[in-house]
């Protein structure tokens, strides 16, 4: 697989990354053996960027990855790890903690669970409103100097925060939702990243499955599946959004690819500095996603996609209201 470099200071990694969140319950129950087989299949296909968070399944995801990656040369893959989201027993989130002392504590737990001596990219999952970003990045900078972290990333912050963080230490990449139905980054964030030489790692490229071509109006999210709370999946919105997918399917069929491949390739086509993550949790989904790395979209293809799904066409926020408040950009 071809590679892309995350910003002017980040690592060169495969042009598609594997997001492991769905392997630890975010979308309902996941099969452990299948999850591990999916990680192995991704590595064998040349995927070298794996994204996780210490709060995915309250540590489950890091332990799963440690098992999946055991025995592999540590420099053959890069681990991107998010921290800071606070969990509550019984489920739910309790805010963020990105104080310097918390950063070091979180990393200690992550290194232990992952069974490694360093993380390739370490990033706060969200801005902690009580802690200036300079203090959080300053703490990670100390971890870089000590050799425990290779690069510093950000997640879901606005352009002003990116500038402040980058002034403390070079930022490799911003992880943020970016897809044909979530284009808010294009206004201020993406130009700022480009000005500063910071990469963009896109998540939600498949709209969490909504624009994958596999979601149907009658499908209900099972127990524990966060899509059950997703405004874009809610009755009244999902029908509208799936009508957009029907338009995308027409474009995909004309191109000879699947809808999932089309929307992944659309994100990849936004620039060499944009790297799509795909949240496959089964080998079957992964096998569908990977050929998108080879799918070249022409100017006519991009125009047809734009016509099928103009900016702002999706109905519903990308997160429930309580979570929208802590994002750097809107929809
Ligand atoms: N920084 C942040 O705030 C943030 C937030 C969310 C996620 N992330 C990261 O980004 C990664 C990807 O995001 P995501 O999982 O939310 O969104 P996604 O990649 O848009 O959606 C993944 C889901 O789409 C469905 N799907 C259908 N066809 C697929 C295909 N061919 N390939 C892959 N998936 C397909 C799968 O659900 P079914 O298995 O049910 O079909 C899968 O779980 C996460 O794993 C996580 O590492 C970061």
Nearest CA to ligand 1 atom 7: 203
String of b and e for 61-76 (b: at least 16 CB within 10 Å)? bbebbeebbeeeeeee
**What is d(CA 143, CA 107) in angstroms, rounded to the nearest whole number?**
9
Render 143-154 in DSSP notation, one character per residue. Answer: HHHTTSEEEEEE
Nearest CA to ligand 1 atom 39: 281
Query: Which residue from 159, 157, 125, 153 is spatially nearest to 141, judged by alpha carbons?
Result: 153
Site to substitute for ligand 1 among 52, 175, 278, most atoms within 8 A of C-beta: 278
Nearest CA to ligand 1 atom 45: 19
pLDDT of 218: 87
* Ramachandran angles phi, psi of 276, nearest 5°: -75, 135
**Domains delineated in the chain:** 3-324 (3.20.20.100)
Site to substitute for ligand 1 among 19, 53, 258, most atoms within 8 A of C-beta: 19
Say if CB 82 and CB 155 are below 8 A apart. Answer: yes
How many whole angstroms from 21 Cα to the centroid of ligand 1?
7
**What is d(CA 109, CA 125) in angstroms, rounded to the nearest whole number?**
16
* Digitized pLDDT (tens) for each residue of the chain, 331 residues in all: 999 999 999 999 999 999 999 999 999 999 999 999 999 999 999 999 999 999 999 999 999 999 999 999 999 999 999 999 999 998 899 999 999 999 999 999 999 999 999 999 999 999 999 999 999 999 999 999 999 999 999 999 999 999 999 999 999 999 999 999 999 999 999 999 999 999 999 999 999 999 999 999 888 898 899 999 999 999 999 999 999 999 999 999 999 999 999 999 999 999 999 999 999 999 999 999 999 999 999 999 999 999 999 999 999 999 999 999 999 999 9
Residue 132 has which token pair? 């200036």
Site to substitute for ligand 1 among 35, 171, 279, 324, most atoms within 8 A of C-beta: 279
Residue 55 has which token pair? 């709060």
How many whole angstroms from 42 Cα to the centroid of ligand 1?
14
Question: Of the listed 56, 122, 203, 319, which one is catalytic?
Answer: 56
Alpha-helix runs per DSSP H in the chain: 32-44, 60-69, 100-114, 133-145, 159-168, 189-196, 238-255, 259-268, 283-289, 299-308, 321-324
Query: Which atom of ligand 1 lies nearest, measured to the CA of 208?
Result: 21
77 is an active site residue: no
pLDDT of 225: 94
How many angstroms from the chain centroid is the CA of residue 267? 12
**What is d(CA 136, CA 127) in angstroms, rounded to the nearest whole number?**
9
How many whole angstroms from 206 Cα to the centroid of ligand 1?
6
Kindly list the protein residues whose Cβ atom lies closer than 6 A to any atom of ligand 1.
Answer: 19-22, 27, 51, 82, 125, 155-156, 175, 203-209, 212, 214, 260, 277-281, 285, 288-289
For 117, counting Cβ atoms within 10 Å of its Cβ (0-12 exposed, 13-18 middle, 19+ buried), the class is exposed
> Facing residues of 79 across strands?
50
Predicted TM-score of the model (pTM):
0.98
Query: Which atom of ligand 1 lies nearest, measured to the CA of 123?
Result: 1
Query: Which residue from 46, 57, 105, 111 is spatially nearest to 79, judged by alpha carbons?
Result: 111
């Amino acid at each position: 697989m071809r590679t892309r470099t995350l910003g002017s200071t980040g690592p060169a990694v495969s042009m598609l990354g594997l997001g492991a969140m769905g392997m630890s319950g975010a979308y309902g129950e996941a099969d452990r053996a299948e999850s591990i087989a999916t990680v192995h299949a991704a590595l064998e296909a040349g995927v070298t960027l794996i994204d996780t968070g210490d709060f995915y399944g309250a540590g489950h995801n890091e332990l799963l990855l440690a098992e999946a990656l055991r025995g592999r040369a540590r420099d053959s893959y890069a681990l991107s790890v998010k921290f800071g989201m606070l969990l509550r027993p019984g489920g739910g989130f309790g805010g963020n903690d990105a104080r310097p002392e918390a950063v070091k504590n979180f990393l200690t737990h992550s290194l232990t669970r992952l069974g490694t001596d360093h993380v390739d990219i370490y990033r706060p999952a969200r801005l902690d409103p009580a802690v200036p970003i300079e203090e959080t990045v300053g703490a990670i900078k100390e971890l870089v100097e000590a050799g425990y972290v290779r690069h510093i990333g950000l997640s879901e912050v606005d352009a002003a925060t990116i500038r402040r963080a980058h002034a403390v230490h070079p930022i490799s990449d911003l992880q943020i939702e970016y897809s044909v139905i979530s284009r808010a980054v294009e206004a201020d964030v993406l130009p700022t990243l480009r000005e500063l030489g910071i990469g963009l790692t896109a998540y939600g490229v498949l709209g969490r499955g909504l624009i994958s071509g596999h979601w149907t109006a009658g499908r209900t999210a099972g127990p524990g599946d966060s899509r059950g709370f997703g405004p874009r999946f809610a009755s009244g919105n999902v029908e509208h959004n799936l009508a957009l997918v029907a338009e995308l399917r027409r474009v995909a069929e004309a191109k000879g690819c699947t809808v999932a491949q089309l929307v992944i390739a659309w994100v990849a086509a936004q620039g060499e500095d944009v790297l799509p993550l795909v949240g496959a949790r089964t080998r079957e989904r992964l096998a569908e996603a990977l050929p998108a790395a080879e799918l070249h979209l022409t100017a006519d293809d991009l125009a047809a996609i734009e016509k099928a799904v103009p900016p702002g066409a999706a109905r519903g926020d990308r997160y429930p209201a309580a979570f929208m408040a802590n994002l750097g950009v809107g929809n």
